[in-house]
Structures are given as structure tokens and as C-alpha cells.
Structure 1
């Protein structure tokens, strides 16, 4: 029998470089703080640079890079500047996301559909591919995509065809990349959160009708809070999940 693990260090990320998109609020802000607390050097990216600077001020070793992930050029700049500053990328958290306003699919709003898919799916592919180019030189790395429960099931009673399609695509893209890169040392996994109380969803939780619907339909009778993903994030980012 092998030795028992060093529990105190099992989820440590000392010296690792982690890139987190969508870090100006919600999950992204929380993820950046948790990764930093585990010892990582963190690159935080989002469109709102002022919010990123506030976040970086709270972290011991972090930089902020303004990035609109719907832009291919800005995605490339994010990866290039991360490597230029820290020399490598060990963990990529594809967290940036957007949604379409509730509307029936028959409205055929293809411009909105493309916009949502660009942010939620296309950017994740491009950032993963670019980060993998660096990771493959060391045969090591972890990519964590943030999808949604609506990547697995329909969004009823909401009507969000673009969001559902983009998150479902991200789930299956994760499977494809995981298989392509597993033998070359890169792990690719996906988180599919349900209804969590964040800045983006606060209006739902503040509304009595919406919050009651969440409580009735969530298995635990309530929505989640961002800190309840801390363990899953650290597991997937660290060597604790070396065979996942």
C-alpha cells in the first residue's frame, strides 16, 4: 500500500500559474481568491478593468489583464501576456460567460445567438487551445471549463436557446479536449453549476417568485453559494485530481 497523502498540501498550488476569465465578479472573483489562497500566482481577466484592479489589490501575487473574450485578438493577448509575465500557464479556468434575454426561439435572433456562443463556447475553445500549446511543452496542465446545469438539461421555464446550446457545446467540447490531450498530460474538466447566488443572479434570489421556484426545484431545497464550489475548484486545479 502506498503512503497516505499529505492532506495539508494535497490541494496546494504553490508556484502554479492560474488564469481565470470573467474574474470581475461572481464565480470568477471567488475562484481567483481561492486559487491565490492555495498558493497560486493568478492572472485575472475580464472587461471591467477597475474591478480587476480591486481584486488584484487583495491578492499577494496577481496581475490583471483587460479582456473581452468574444475577441479572438484579446484572447490571444491574454495568453501571450500571461506567459510573458509568469513564464507559463498551469491552470486555465474558462469562467467568462453571458446569457441571452429570455425569448422564444422562433424569434430567430441569430445575432444574439452568435454573440452568446462566441462568449460561452468559441472563446473557451480558443483559450484552451492556446493555453494547451504552452502546457504541452511540459506535458502537464489543467483546464477547467465552467458550463451550467443548462448544458445538461433545458432551461424551462426560462427560454434561453443560445445559453443552453452554448453550455451544452462546452460540455461536449470538454469531453473532446479531455480525450485528445489526456495522454499528453493535460486534464480537461467541466463544472456545471445549478442556481447559485452571485452578483449576476442576485435579482432572481431577491424576487420571491423566482427564489421560491429555485427552492422547489433544487435537490437541496435552496440555491448554492460560490464558496460551495471551492472544493471542486481546488480538486480539479491541483494534483489531487491527477487521474481525472
Structure 2
């Protein structure tokens, strides 16, 4: 049975930070629904492994090595993709990092690195891709926010600040670019089993607390983010704009 509203046939998607974790899961999901995907990262070996994994499964995948925190590099990379691979129909701003420390002792260099990686990268890549999408009067941008766009926990205040910024940057992108035919939304994952969360996964006290705190009673699996990404990347969401969809097992809905 075919569901054309959710088809991504003929679309090209760029997913930043997609050599592992959530980014790779989303790339695989979009590819399985018909999109060609561009795998991005700074580590060439990881990007090549991820790209080869997708192509060996019969998907159309391309590699693009660039640092999302370097505006000049971003602009050059987007120009190369547009000229050598094709028009970017879908952008998923997924690249991000975490660093934990008490706020009173939080290192300045890590604060600046978090801002560059989690916020500036979304602005740089979003703006660079949008300039092409605006000319075509169409395009989908999906930013990866977090439950920490709404909540806070000890030792991650700067991360929380960056993800709150992603939430509102999503709304700002919608406000400025919807008139050109673009849809810009965000996915806010809860606690998922990813390399970014490995320290928490390995901590039995934290895992026990999380399972009790989350109505669903468990960690999320990255594959459970794919459905929302397909919806937001497809024609099914043609009038959905500026929204943040929480995929968190109910953690933001319950005290």
C-alpha cells in the first residue's frame, strides 16, 4: 500500500552530525522512505563507514565532510552539494554536543563550544540552505531540540540554554521563511540510547531514576524518532510550521 503524502521519493536530505546516533538513524529512516541522503561529519572515517552502510543496504547516500561550526566551510559545502549532488529539499540540523559540570565551575571554553556546536551550527547551516530553498519557494528544515529546551537538570545549564535557543530559533526561522514556502519545525527527543548519553546509560542510579520519572518507563530507542522526521520532511506536514514535537515517553507531560 502506498502513502504518497509520506513519500520522500526524489528528495535530497542533508543530515548534519549523521555518522552515528540519532543523525544516522534519521538518515536511514529518510532513505528507507525514498530520499537520497547526505551524511555529514568532521571525522572522515566515521562518515565513510556510515555512508557505506547505507549504500550497502541499497540506499542512495553521499558523504560530505565539513565542520558545522565554521560558517565559511558550511557555505562552501552547501554550494558543493547543490552543484554536484542536487538541490537540498530537506535539512535536518542534528549536530550537537554535551558537557556536564557544576554551573559555578563551568569552563568558559566549553560554554563557547556548546554555543557554537548546538546553536551557531543551526543558524549557519539553516541560513545557508534556506538561501537556496527560498529561491525554489519550497523546503523542509527540521532542527533537533531536546526536552532540555523546556526543562533543566543539575550540571547541564549551558546545554539547556543552547537547546532553548534552538526551540526559539525554529520559531524565528518559521516567522521569517514560511512566506517563501518553507516549513521549519523541531523534534525534541527525551532520553534516548545514544553515544551522547552513554555515561548516563551506564549509570544504574540514573537509569533507575529515569525509568521511574518517565511515564513510558524506559529509555527511548533512536528508531522511534524516525516517524516524526518522515512526517515533518514530507508533504503530510505542508501546513505545520514553527512547532516543536516532543518525543520523550511523556516526561515533559508528567510531574
Could you tell me the TM-score, scaled by structure 2's length?
Answer: 0.88
Q: State the Cα distance separating 1:63 from its structure 2 match.
A: 1.0
Does structure 2 retain, via aligned residues, the 8 Å contact 1:52–1:64? yes
Q: State the Cα distance separating 1:203 from its structure 2 match.
A: 3.2
SS at match of 2:22: helix
1:226 maps onto 2:225 in alignment: no
- 1:13 corresponding residue in structure 2: 8
1:125-175 per-position Cα deviation (integer Å, ceiling 9, x unaligned): 111111011001111000000011001111x2x311221111100100000
Q: State the Cα distance separating 1:56 from its structure 2 match.
A: 1.6
- 5 Å-filtered alignment, 1:42-191, equals 42-57=37-52, 58-59=54-55, 60-100=59-99, 102-107=100-105, 109-154=107-152, 156=153, 158-191=154-187
SS at match of 1:197: coil
SS at match of 1:69: coil
Structure 2: runs of 5+ lacking an equivalent: 241-255
Does structure 1 retain, via aligned residues, the 8 Å contact 2:192–2:221? yes
SS at match of 1:190: strand
Does structure 2 retain, via aligned residues, the 8 Å contact 1:99–1:162? no
Does structure 1 retain, via aligned residues, the 8 Å contact 2:69–2:124? no
In the alignment, the residues of structure 2 paired with residue 103 and residue 203 of structure 1 have an alpha-carbon distance, to the nearest angstrom, of 13
- 1:36 corresponding residue in structure 2: 31
Structure 1: runs of 5+ lacking an equivalent: 1-5
- 2:245 corresponding residue in structure 1: none
The RMSD of aligned alpha carbons is: 1.4
Does structure 2 retain, via aligned residues, the 8 Å contact 1:149–1:193? yes
2:18 to 11, 16, 23: 23
Q: State the Cα distance separating 1:108 from its structure 2 match.
A: 5.1
In the alignment of these two chains, the number of paired residues is: 236
Could you tell me the TM-score, scaled by structure 1's length?
Answer: 0.92
